[in-house]
Amino acid sequence: MSLPVIHAGLANTAALFLAAIGVWALYQRIRSNPLGSNWFGAMVIAEALLLVQSVTGTILYFQGFGAVLPRPFIHILYGIVSIITLPAAYGYFGSLEDENVKSLAMAVTSLFLWGIILRATSVASYLPPYLQ
């Protein structure tokens, strides 16, 4: 399996995982339950997944695959945003006393990241035939 295929697979996995934890946080908000350690563990897994995906993307970029992207710097920008968003949101919203607001904020953050991953995937949608 080639590294571009692994990178694309990680992007799909990250998008689905972030959508799932976003819906999970919304469900917790609707039920007025606080986000538990299971949800925060899933958030750590999502961040680790995003880090592995960005490491593979960095390796691909330095191997010269950045030249095949239509807009490589936009793709890189989305990658950087995806890495810093979850820790920043947890640092900012983690100290809130109202658990309903915290769960809603983390749901919005997760769904925002879902959209960022989808947008980064659409920016990199062009792959030449020899990479498919």
Total domains, the chain? 1
Q: Please give the backbone phi and psi of residue 124, each rounded to the nearest 5 degrees, phi first.
A: -100, 25
State how far the Cα of 73 lies from the Cα of 89, in Å rounded to an integer.
24
pLDDT level of residue 41 (50, 70, 90 thresholds): very high
Query: 77-109, pLDDT tens digit by residue?
Result: 999 999 999 999 999 998 889 999 999 999 999
For the record, the structure tokens of 65 come out as 């695959």
Mean residue pLDDT across the chain:
90
Domain membership of residue 17 as a residue range:
3-131
Contact indicator for 18, 117 with CB cutoff of 8 Å: yes
Q: How many other CB atoms sit within 10 Å of the CB of residue 97? A: 6
The amino acid at 13: T
The 10s digit of each residue's pLDDT in 103-126 is 999 999 999 999 999 999 888 765
Where does 31-98 have alpha helices with state H? 37-62, 72-93
Measured between alpha carbons, how far apart are the two ends of the chain, in Å? 11
